[in-house]
């Protein structure tokens, strides 16, 4: 029997953070495409849009008026998915029909007063303010007695369901730890118990030695396409100095994070020369008072685009019913992202 080659033979890769497998089919990349193509997002050039509910001084759907902010701005989500109200009694039938009440807080985080910039186009000093905002919000919400987990995220682009091109993210803080961080918590704790070191610290050391999946790096942070990536151009951002939450980041780590975010998102925008759609977010150690040994802070970027600005990957069929599948191996995606300029295409002459 011939031994299999990761770059041309179908295989499965394990995500050690979730315990789930992904099917990789590298031989399939020449498949013709006659399916759906997406509309290109309109190129927003207005630095202020009087109809935008996130621009400074504008009125939002619920009637509240945004402050005339100059840097970042936070408000309670007018259509919050979670409420801080405690309810009496347990809505919990044992067995097959089970429900439990959950409290939480949802806020919208405006990254910049400028309506027309993406993170990639913002100056590093302005991105640093976004990092500070994420850390402040995490600390403030984690201090609430009924909050057990703080999820910071950004949905970028209409393709990912973002309602507005104005640069913004959200924070949803929940009483209980949601599914994805709960899986990561269990796997990281089990690894730590077995090896005495954080799973992601060991993983980062392997990736730095191998180098083939690194996209870009600085003294504090590394952006890479994880070995087990599902989305075509999925990446993770990992700190070189182990920390578990955003508020723990010191000045050097925050400056470094702003730099790596600008460089990574610029590469993304340059890939197809469009404001690149993605969902990104931070996985931080839960704040429900339990131990969570071995937890390492990290960000995931999940972009939907596959082969051009208008052809996206669909998670359907086998992926919905079996397990996720990808064509381009993570190494090839990293090489592609590495080959791109760190000067934004809108700034190139
Ligand atoms: P998205 O672009 O990721 O959908 O985030 C925008 C959020 O802003 C969304 O959760 C909220 C929506 O509920 N929102 C307000 O809180 N007030 C508004 O006036 C419009 C939108
Ligand atoms: Zn705006």
Angle at 127 between CA 157 and CA 155, to 5 degrees: 20
The stretches of the chain forming alpha helices (DSSP H) are: 124-142, 179-195, 199-210, 251-272, 318-321, 330-338
Distance CA 222, CA 226 (A): 11
Residue 154 C-alpha to ligand 2 middle, in angstroms? 16
Percent of all residues in the chain with a pLDDT value above 70, rounded to a whole number: 94
Residue 60 C-alpha to ligand 2 middle, in angstroms? 11
User: Which atom of ligand 1 approaches the CA of 77 most closely?
Assistant: 16
Q: 């007063």: which residue's tokens? A: 113
The encoded tokens of residue 327 equal 């064509």
Would you state the pLDDT for residue 349?
67
Protein residue with its CA nearest to atom 7 in ligand 1: 108
Protein residue with its CA nearest to atom 17 in ligand 1: 78
- Best mutation site among 57, 77, 153, 302 for ligand 1 pocket (most ligand atoms within 8 Å of CB): 77
Distance CA 310, CA 271 (A): 12
3-state secondary structure 263-303: HHHHHHHHHHCCCCCEEEEEECCCCCCCCCCCCCCEEEEEC
Q: 């953070």: which residue's tokens? A: 17
Nearest ligand to residue 54 Cα: 2
299 near 282, Cβ under 8 Å? yes
Distance CA 59, CA 47 (A): 17
Tell me which residue of 261, 308, 295, 258 sits closest to 280, measured CA to CA. 261
Tell me which residue of 263, 298, 264, 259 sits closest to 281, measured CA to CA. 298
342 near 19, Cβ under 8 Å? no
- Best mutation site among 163, 165, 167 for ligand 1 pocket (most ligand atoms within 8 Å of CB): 163
Would you state the pLDDT for residue 90?
65
Element (DSSP H or E) covering residue 120: none
99 near 91, Cβ under 8 Å? yes
Catalytic, out of 168, 283, 298, 300: 168
User: Which atom of ligand 1 approaches the CA of 60 most closely?
Assistant: 19
Domains assigned to the chain? 44-342 (3.30.428.10)
Distance CA 146, CA 105 (A): 10
Indicate if 11 belongs to the active site: no
Nearest ligand to residue 153 Cα: 1
Nearest ligand to residue 52 Cα: 2
Would you state the pLDDT for residue 229?
98
- Best mutation site among 110, 170, 279 for ligand 1 pocket (most ligand atoms within 8 Å of CB): 170
CA distances (Å), origin 251, targets 114, 255, 283 = 25, 6, 20
267 near 342, Cβ under 8 Å? yes
User: Which atom of ligand 1 approaches the CA of 64 most closely?
Assistant: 19
Q: What is the pLDDT of residues 18-41, one digit of tens each?
A: 999 999 998 876 666 667 777 676
Distance CA 70, CA 112 (A): 7
Contacts of 180 (CB under 8 A, 6+ apart): 18, 283
| Pocket residues: Cβ below 6 A from ligand 1 | 53, 60-61, 77-79, 108, 155, 162-164, 170
* pLDDT less than 50: residues of the chain: none
Would you state the pLDDT for residue 91?
65
């Amino acid at each position: 029997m011939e031994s299999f080659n990761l770059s041309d033979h179908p295989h499965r890769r394990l995500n050690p953070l979730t315990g789930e497998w992904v099917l990789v089919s590298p031989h399939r990349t020449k498949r013709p495409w006659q399916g759906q193509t997406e509309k290109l997002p309109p190129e927003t050039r207005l630095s202020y849009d009087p109809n935008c509910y996130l621009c400074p001084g504008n009125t939002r759907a619920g009637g509240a008026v945004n402050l005339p902010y100059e840097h970042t701005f936070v408000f309670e989500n007018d259509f919050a998915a979670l409420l801080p109200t405690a309810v009496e009694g347990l809505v919990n039938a044992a067995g097959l029909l089970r429900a439990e009440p959950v409290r939480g807080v949802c806020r919208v985080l405006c990254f910049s007063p400028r309506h027309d910039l993406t993170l990639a186009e913002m100056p590093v000093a302005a991105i640093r303010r976004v990092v500070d905002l994420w850390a402040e919000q995490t600390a403030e919400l984690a201090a609430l007695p009924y909050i057990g987990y703080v999820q910071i995220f950004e949905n970028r682009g209409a393709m990912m369901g973002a309602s507005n091109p104005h640069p913004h993210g959200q924070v949803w803080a929940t009483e209980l730890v949601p599914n994805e961080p709960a899986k990561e918590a269990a796997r990281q704790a089990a690894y730590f118990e077995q090896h005495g070191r954080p799973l992601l610290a060991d993983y980062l050391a392997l990736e730095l030695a191998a180098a083939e999946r690194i996209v870009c790096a600085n003294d504090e942070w590394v952006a890479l396409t994880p070995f087990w990536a599902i989305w075509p151009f999925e990446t993770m951002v990992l700190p070189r100095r182990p920390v578990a939450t955003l508020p723990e980041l010191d000045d050097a780590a925050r400056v470094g994070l702003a730099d790596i975010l600008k460089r990574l998102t610029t590469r993304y925008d340059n890939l197809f020369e469009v404001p690149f759609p993605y969902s990104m977010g931070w996985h931080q150690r839960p704040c429900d008072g339990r131990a969570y040994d071995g937890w390492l802070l990290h960000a995931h970027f999940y972009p939907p685009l596959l082969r051009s600005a208008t052809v996206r990957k669909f998670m359907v069929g086998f992926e919905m019913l079996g397990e996720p599948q990808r064509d381009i191996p993570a190494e090839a995606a990293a090489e592609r992202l590495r080959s791109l300029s760190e000067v934004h295409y809108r700034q190139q002459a």
